[in-house]
Structure 1
Amino acid sequence: MTIDRRSLLAGASAGAALIAAPALVRAQGAGPIKVGEINSYTAQPAFLKPYRQGWELALEQINAAGGALGRKIETIFRDDGGKPEDAVRHAGDLINAEKVDLLSGGFLSNVGLAIADFAAQNKRLYVASEPLSDAVVWAKGNRYTFRLRPSTYMQAAMLVEEAAKLPAKKWALVAPNYEYGQSGVKWFKELLKKAKPDVEFVAEQFPALGRIDAGATVQALEASKPDAIFNVTFGADLSNFVRQGNTRGLFEGRAVVSMLTGEPEYLDPLGAEAPVGWIVTGYPHADIQTPEHVKFRDAYKAKFNDYPRLGSVVGFDTMNSIAAALTKAGSTDTEKLVDAMKGLKFASAFGQAEYRAIDHQSTLGAFVGKTALKDGKGVMVDWRYADGAKYLPSDAEVKLLRPAG
């Protein structure tokens, strides 16, 4: 059998076309839509293991229904270890090597701000799921960054609404010494002073994140003889603070208002030592019976044989909001996605929410209630859902807080 040169070249060209065809199809958008997800998985596992599970549940449901734009969505996860510099390095790798279509994630506020800055410089969409710093959408806000969770301002405003009803005049405050803690204290003081001009703040303690000297902190707060305490610690710091406070009688006869303490991630580890009567933001997962939440909770339990934490909701809602943005944009083009995110309405486990066009902050709310003990475990009682849209500043105020863009 002989093959002349013309036949050989024709065959080679046909083979090359067959090889190039899949690449051409991928280039035209038949491959998966890639999302780069950066988070502090090893540094904050209590929140971020449930977060990832909630994300994976949403992703499974979305892809089972056909994905977005007729394409499957793929997530490439990266662990920043709680370090801003590692988060930025991962962001660069995800954009340049993995060719992701957008970025998401962030837990600690300083990490979220670092990714947001990267997104602005590189003109890529970043959906910040968890970092609570107001600077993410206000002072350092940019065209390419949107945030899902209620911010420190929003949660402080929800808690101040309850704190203002207390007879307490002298307040002491404790918070981790980084962006989130400083922001939480700032807004609580400012908003409470506005609601009750006669209050005074007699002590402030800012222990290092993850390294609280709980005994010394409790002693310093007790020495100021406050009527009430505002707490912003979470995780292991919260557990140590509560145990030392219980031991030393800090909370006896005093009201405590506490951000995040009602979240199962932080309440469950306290067991029977969980505080009673604290006014908190959190997530009473077992008692929320809205159709959206029951559907989410049942699906989560079926998949993971466990109950959801607040992280589960945040992961679930972030992924669903990204899918909604892709559908609205009709494209993976960054500028079209950014435009689609402005004013985007999306379904969450807590009902419908929206990313405000003016500041890119979601209107997702939080639950406000009191802590109690039930069967030797901390729970939330007397709770209500605080719609995030009602706890955000006006457009005129936002224009003063946020740079153009």
Structure 2
Amino acid sequence: MKYSAMLVAAGVLSAGTAFAQGAPIKIGVLYPLTGGGAVYGAPALVGHQMAIEELNAKGGIMGRKVESLERDDKLNPATASSTMKELITKDKVDIVLGGLASSVGLAMTEVSKQEKVVYISTIPKSIQITTDKLHKYVFRTSANTDQEGEAMAILAGKNKLAKICHLELDYAYGNDLEAGILKAMPKYAPDAKIVLTLKPKLGATDFNPFIPQVMAAGCDGVLSGLWGPHFVSWVKQAAPLGFFNKIKWISGGEVGSHEIAGELKGEYPDNVISNTYELWYKGNDPSHKEFQEKLAKKLNTQETPQWAALGYIGVMYAAAAMEKAKSTDPDKVAEALEGLSIGTPVGTLTIDAKTHQANIGQFWGPMVKKPDRAYRMMEPAEYIQPK
């Protein structure tokens, strides 16, 4: 299913909804809505829009209508920076959400600092956002590369990998994920050895120069952050060569999500262990069922995408912070976000007051064939939430 075709008009109000006097609260959001990144960006925007609709149906934020100003970041840091500045200076948004690529998230973090407007990073994972680049106005509700790297190192140890090929995209996410894995390996996979490291560029589509190198390296496992269309392209080019017959693929980048499983269907290979924030067929919190049913109705499909949950959570965090602060003032909203806990479709989340990082978890598990499905599903799926 092409989730880029699922975009719907935001801001639908239920009949008779009444709002208090006052200008609408404006939420700016950037996701990649065209190109390869749209496989994740479009579903994230659907979740964002669903949250806006729910808020407006209940009277908005502080009794004021909520408007969503949506833009395509085109998976490009320069585009994201200029567009975000325009949303802040011209459109006068009260807060900015979104981003997908870590390079885009880092660019948006810098604009947030310059313009003194709160930015909630709903998808970008680079650890730098909440360490080296951390400032008063930036917060993250997605996982970070250290958390993901630790989980991958744990899985490498559990699967007794001896020789590992490391395959990452050559940009912030890939480089930081590699660092997170290497930091965790001595503890969780002390007997494993990295025998090859390769770094294709972000947006790469031709992996034929890399596939033979990995197959010749003698590794019994690959640790990789190839996500979305990158993973799809690798599978289509490598699987016919028997690549996945003997090599275990342990992957970040949420290739365990239905966005990817549903796209690859029968082409999804064996020996893949991956992650996802949310599964339409498995919840870790009682509220998940209601959320998934609403999303399924909105998209007219039972098999909903996982990225919608991240877009949804970002909006609900913004709303909760403004309600707590009783203001849209960036300084007051930033203060309200520190230590803030809210209920979400994946359980109660808390943003750490010092690091501005939410303790969101992920499902991890092998992708297996199901006799009654045309696509693979994660089974068993273990939800791992950082403390």
What's the TM-score, normalizing by structure 2?
0.90
**Which of 308, 314, 319 is matched with 1:318 structurally?**
314
Moved more, 252-261 or 344-353: 252-261
Q: CA deviation at 1:29?
A: 7.0
Fraction of identical pairs, as percent: 28
Q: Which residue of 1 aligns with 2:7?
A: none
**5+ residue gaps in structure 1?**
1-27, 391-405
Structure of higher RCO (CA pairs closer than 8 Å, 6+ residues apart):
1
In structure 2, relative to structure 1, the CA distance for the partners of 1:273 and 1:386 (3 Å cut) is: same
Pick from 257, 266, 274 the counterpart of residue 263 of structure 1.
Answer: 257
Alignment counterpart, residue 158 of structure 1, candidates 151, 168, 178 = 151
**C-alpha contact (below 8 Å) 1:353/1:363 kept by paired residues:** yes
My pick for the range that moved more, 124-133 or 40-49, is: 40-49
Amino acid at match of 1:229: V
**Aligned ranges for residues 273-352 of structure 1 at < 5 Å?**
273-282=267-276, 283-288=278-283, 290-306=285-301, 307-352=303-348
Distance in 2, Cα, partners of 1:273 & 1:348: 33
Cα shift at 1:289 = 6.7
- Following superposition, the deviation at residue 253 of structure 1 comes to 2.3
What's the counterpart of residue 120 of structure 2? 127
The answer for the alignment partner of 1:42 in structure 2 is: 34
Deviation at 1:362, TM superposition (A): 0.9
Query: 2 CA distance for matches of 1:32 and 1:169?
Result: 57
The Cα of 1:368 is off from its aligned counterpart by 0.7
Paired position in structure 2 for 1:18: none
- Structure with greater proportional helix content: 1
Tell me the distance in 2 between the aligned counterparts of 1:371 and 1:211: 24
Partner of 1:78: 71
Q: How far off is 1:127 after superposition?
A: 0.8
Deviates more, 1:298-307 or 1:363-372: 298-307
Distance (whole Å) between structure 2 residues aligned to residue 254 and residue 86 of structure 1? 38
Instruction: Report 1:2-401 matches (<5 A).
Output: 30-43=22-35, 44-259=37-252, 260-282=254-276, 283-288=278-283, 290-306=285-301, 307-374=303-370, 375-387=373-385, 389-390=386-387
Q: Which amino acid aligns with 2:264?
A: L
8 Å CA contact 1:281–1:367 kept in 2: the answer is: yes
What is the rounded CA distance, in whole Å, between the counterparts of 2:317 and 2:284 in structure 1? 22
| Deviation string, structure 1 residues 196-216 (Cα, Å, up to 9, x no partner) | 333210001111122243222
CA contact (8 A) 1:125 1:337 kept: yes
Deviations 1:316-354 (A, max 9, x none): 111111111111111111110000000011121111101
The residue identity in structure 2 corresponding to 1:264 is: H
In 2, the alpha carbon distance for the partners of 1:34 and 1:63 equals 12
- Which range moves more in the overlay, 109-118 or 259-268? 259-268
Structure 2 CA distance for aligned equivalents of residues 167 and 102 of structure 1: 46
Aligned equivalents of 1:106, 1:50: Cα separation in 2: 13
**Matched residue type, 2:265:** G
Give the greater-gyration-radius structure (CA).
Answer: 1
SS of aligned partner of 1:382 = coil
Amino acid at match of 2:377: V
- Give the superposition deviation at 1:380: 0.8
Preserved CA contact (<8 Å) 1:275 1:378: no
What CA deviation, in whole Å up to 9, does each residue of 1:223-261 have, x standing for no partner? 110121112111222112122322222222232211121
